[in-house]
Structure 1
Amino acid sequence: MIYELRIYTIHPGKIDAIRKRFSDHTLGVFARLGMQVCDFWEDLEEHPKLYYTMQYESMEERTRQWEAFSQDKEWNEVKQKSEQDGKIVEFVEQVFMKRAEYFKK
C-alpha cells in the first residue's frame, strides 16, 4: 500500500473557490473513479493551502487513476468553469509514503 500527500497552494483570494470545487465536484469524481481519499485538511494558520492523503495499491494504480481523472469529462468541465476568473491552484506538491512497519495503530 502506498500513500500520497498532496499539498495545494492556492492563489490569493481563491480559497473559497477551491473549497467549493472539492466539496461540490472533485471529491465526488474521485469517488466515482474509485480514488480513495484518506483524509483532508486545511491550514490551521489560514495560509491558502489544502492537504489531503490518498491511498493506492501501487504506483501503477495511482498512475491509472490520475490518468482517468485527468481525462474525465465532468472534471474537465468543472475545472474549466471554476477557472473562468483565473486559475485557483498555484502549485501542487506531492509526497509519496509507505506505512512504517514498526508503527501500530
Structure 2
Amino acid sequence: MLYELRIYYIHPGRMQAINDRFANHTLNIFSRIGMKVTDFWEDTDAESNKLVYVMEFANREERDAKFEIFRNDPEWQKARNESELDGAIVERVESVFLKQAAYFNR
C-alpha cells in the first residue's frame, strides 16, 4: 500500500475557501473517482495556514492515474475556477509518499 501525505499551504485569509471546496466538491469527486482519503487535519496554529490529509493507493501507478483523471474532471475544473474567483487559494502543495513500516501492525 502507498500512502500520500499532502500538505497544502494556503494563502492568508483563504482557509475557509479551501475548507468549503473540499467539503462541497473535492471529497465527493475523489470518492466518485475511487480516491480514498484516510484522514484530514487542520493545523492547530491558525497562523500557519496549513491543511493536511493522507490518501491511500495500491501503488504509485494507481495514484498517478487517478490524479490525472481528477485534474481533467470537468466538475473539478468548474469547482476550482469558481472557488478562485476572489484569488488563488493554495500557495503550494507538498507531497510525501510513504509505506507502512514492516514491524507496525494496525
State the TM-score, normalizing by the size of structure 2: 0.97
Residue aligned with 1:39, SS: strand
Match of 1:82 in 2: 83
Match of 1:68?
Answer: 69
SS in 1 for 2:24: helix
Q: Which amino acid aligns with 2:22?
A: F
SS in 1 for 2:8: strand
Cα drift, residue 104 of structure 1: 1.8
**TM-score, normalised by the number of residues in structure 1:** 0.98
Structure 2 residue identity aligned to 1:5: L
Residue by residue over 1:4-57, the C-alpha shift from the partner in whole angstroms, topping out at 9 and shown as x without a partner, is 000000000000000000000000000000000000000011221100000000
- Percent same amino acid at aligned positions? 52
Note the residue ranges of structure 2 that are not aligned, 5 or more in a row. none
Asked if residue 3 in structure 1 is aligned to residue 39 in structure 2, the reply is no
Paired residue type of 1:3: Y
Structure 1 unpaired stretches of 5+: none
Q: How many residues align?
A: 105
